[in-house]
Each structure stands twice: as C-alpha cells, then as structure tokens.
Amino acid sequence: MLRAVFFLPLAVLALCAPVKKPEPKAQPRPAVAGMPPPADTIARPAPRPKTIDYDTSQWLEINALDSTIAIDVRYATANNFVGEAMYDCGRCFFRPAVARALVAAHRELRAKGMGLKFFDCYRPRPVQWKLWNKVPDPRFVADPRKGSVHNRGGAADLTIVYADGRELDMGVPFDYFGPEGYHDYTGFPDSVLANRRLLRETMARHGMAHIRTEWWHYNYRPRSYRLDDWLWPCPTE
Ligand SMILES: [Zn+2]
C-alpha cells in the first residue's frame, strides 16, 4: 500500500518532469514555513545574451526579452532530481507567443516588487531521449515519442522571487514529489497558500494554465505546438 501511495504521484508527474527514478538519490527537502530559503535557491543574475543565434520566428529566449527575469535552469546543473546535468548549457526558450505571455506576467509582478524565476523551459526532445535511455520506464520518464508540453515549447517550470532574488515560500521546492506539491494541499500557513495563489492567478491572466500536481508547472493554454528536436547553441567563451 505504501508503495502504491508513493508511486502514484510519480506516475502523474512523468507527463511533465523528465525523470522519476524509482530510488532517488536525494529527496528534496520540504521548506520550513517562515524560514528563509536555503542559499542554493537564491537567484543568480542571468547573463544577457550577446547575440541572437536562433530563429526568432520559432523561438524566443525569455531573458533576451527582459533581462530582469531570473534563470536557474536546473537540468543544466547537477542540482536536480537526476543529480547530473542534462543540458550542455542552461538557456530558456519558448514559442514566441508563450514567451510574450510569460514576459507580460513577469512585468505584472515587477509592478509589485517581484518577478519570475525559471527552472525549466523548452526541453529539446534529444534531451528527453537521453533521459529515456537512462531510465526507460514510462512511470518515471515521459516517453519521447509522445513527448510533453515542455518538448513543444509551451510549458514553464517557475516561481516568484522578490526584487532581491529571494524565492517566495511555496511550501516545498521545485520537483518535490508528493501531495505537498499539489495545488489542493492546504496544510501550509496562509502566507504559503497566498504565494501559490499569486502565482496561479498571475499565470492564469496570461493564458498559462496550472496542473493539479505541480505548483511550479504551467502550460500555455491558447494553443499547442509540435514536438521539437531543436538544440540551442551554447556559448563557446
Ligand atoms: Zn514542468
């Protein structure tokens, strides 16, 4: 019974997150309400791209549109559920309409002294294959042949930060697997529930729909896109 209860949320998450290992190396730590976020969640300034090295009719890089947006692409680092880097470099792309919607949401938050911070954006399908070859189990990895909204450039994993880069307390961190990460979990202080509501309502005003089981994941609702294999270039300097 315990096993079933543990795996059910993981199976649901396989649609969004790339890897759900049966025995993760480290469970994310639940945040403690009222405590400051751990040091590794402080936003680093995103380097402003120097050149446009991609097809802007297909893709827009979110921090090229607005350099005040914080980027921490976790799958370009070892600081993720897999424990190793899956991208050669961390860049954050979306389909143009999706990127514009997200910038509009960010600017709405800016007017309130806050902003958006992105953990994952468009996820190229070759990366999805890399993950699938590592863990070929549909309970834990989205099958790249079917793909996910991330593989289509229409999904974002993100949170809200204050102007100084601190993340708002969302109760549990990005990629926390379990009911505490669900939108309908109400066991947190009102301040945490209000933070999640602020994210949900801000996103909804810009066409970004939440999913029930991950407070950090949003899908662009107005339209869907084809699966894509495009890999972004990495800076050589
Ligand atoms: Zn996601």
Dump pLDDT digits (tens) for 200-222.
Answer: 999 999 999 999 999 999 999 99
Percent of residues, the chain, with pLDDT higher than 70:
78
DSSP string covering 175-229, please? T--SGGGSTT---S-HHHHHHHHHHHHHHHTTTEEEETTEEEEEEE-S-------
Q: How far, in Å, from the CA of 233 to the mean position of ligand 1?
A: 22
| Strand 93-94 versus strand 60-61 pairing type | antiparallel
122 alpha carbon to ligand 1 midpoint, in Å? 9
Q: How far is the CA of 155 from the centre of ligand 1 (A)?
A: 6
| DSSP label at residue 57 | T
What confidence score (pLDDT) does residue 52 get? 87
Tell me which CATH code domain 2-21+37-220 carries: 3.30.1380.10
Q: At what angle do helices 96-110 and 190-204 cross, to 10 degrees?
A: 130
Question: How many angstroms is it from 17 CA to the middle of ligand 1?
Answer: 5
The per-residue pLDDT for 26 is 41
Do residues 76 and 85 touch, judged by C-beta distance below 8 A? yes
Tell how far the Cα of 46 is from the centroid of ligand 1, in angstroms.
Answer: 20
Whole-angstrom CA distances from 148 to 171, 209, 224 are 26, 15, 11
Q: What is the pLDDT of residue 80?
A: 81
Domain spans, the chain:
2-21+37-220
pLDDT of 35 strictly over 60: no
Ligand 1 centre to CA of 61 (Å) is 17
Q: Which pair of tokens denotes residue 193?
A: 């529930």
Contact 162, 113 (CB under 8 A): yes
Distance in Å, CA 175 to ligand 1 centroid? 9
Q: How much distance in Å is there from the Cα of 157 to the middle of ligand 1?
A: 5
Report the separation in Å between the CA atom of 145 and the middle of ligand 1, taken as the mean of its atom positions.
17
* pTM for the predicted model, two decimal places: 0.80
Distance 16 CA to ligand 1 centre (A): 5
Average per-residue pLDDT for the chain: 83
The Å distance, Cα 174 to ligand 1 centre, comes to: 9
Residue 181 burial (CB count, 10 A): 24
Indicate if the pLDDT at residue 122 is higher than 50. Answer: yes
What is the pLDDT at residue 2?
41
Torsion region of 235: left, alpha or beta (phi above 0 gives left; psi -120 to 50 gives alpha):
beta
In the beta sheet, which residues pair with residue 117?
70, 159
Q: How far away, in angstroms, is 18 Cα from ligand 1 center?
A: 8
Q: Which residues contact 211 (CB under 8 A, 6 or more apart)?
A: 16, 217, 218, 219
Q: Minimum mean pLDDT among 34-48, 96-110, 180-194: which range?
A: 34-48
Cα gap 100→222, rounded to integer Å: 13
Q: Separation of 44 CA from ligand 1 center, angstroms?
A: 20
d(CA 123, CA 134): 16
> What single letter denotes the amino acid at residue 203?
M
- Tell me the mean pLDDT in the region 85-91: 92
- Residue 72's pLDDT band (boundaries 50, 70, 90)? very high
